[in-house]
Copies of this chain bind each other. A is one copy, B any other.
Amino acid sequence: MPEFDLTRHETFRHWTPVTIRYSDQDAMAHVNNTAIATYVESARTAFIYDLIQRGGVEGMEFILARMTIDYLAEFHYPGAVDVGARLIRFGTKSIGTGYGIFNGETCVATSECVNVFYDMGSRKTLVPPDSVREALEAELSA
């Protein structure tokens, strides 16, 4: 699978804007690390629902199995961030997604997540249909 530099704007075509809230700050007067997890999640849910829709599958979800965040620079309220999202790998039952969180021109954090395909009816993991895999392959090489 290819490697992607998550600190670069050019890596991403899918973007989610998130406004910074006063309550995102902590006692060090910068944005708290757990607030950044909510920024990543906003981008992840938007990006993955978009992927599923392109695969034309209903009743399927992706359950979060792992999240890693690398904190690169502190930043502050007020303002906003733009979160870039892209597919970085996929397996039989899971996908890996990568994120770059930008405050202005600065990449303040990157994240990698693993989600597992999940059937909401049976509450079990599943192997997705070919239509989804084709959408994933097209996305990965885009």
Copies in the complex: 4
Instruction: Find the B residue at minimum CB distance from A67.
Output: B69
B77 near A66: Cβ-Cβ < 8 Å: no
Q: Residue A66 contacts which of B46, B66, B69 (CB distance < 8 angstroms)?
A: B69
B46 near A23: Cβ-Cβ < 8 Å: no
A41 to B42, CA, bound (A): 20
A26 to B21, CA, bound (A): 11
Number of A residues with CB within 8 Å of any CB on chain B: 35
A19 to B19, CA, bound (A): 6
- Which chain A residues (34-50) contact chain B, with CB distance < 8 Å? 34-35, 37-39, 41-42, 45-46
A25 near B27: Cβ-Cβ < 8 Å: yes
Q: Is A4 in contact with chain B by the CB < 8 A criterion?
A: no
A66 near B68: Cβ-Cβ < 8 Å: yes
Q: Is A78 in contact with chain B by the CB < 8 A criterion?
A: yes
- Which A residues are closer than 8 A to B by beta carbons? 17-19, 21-23, 25-29, 32-35, 37-39, 41-42, 45-46, 61, 63-71, 77-78, 80
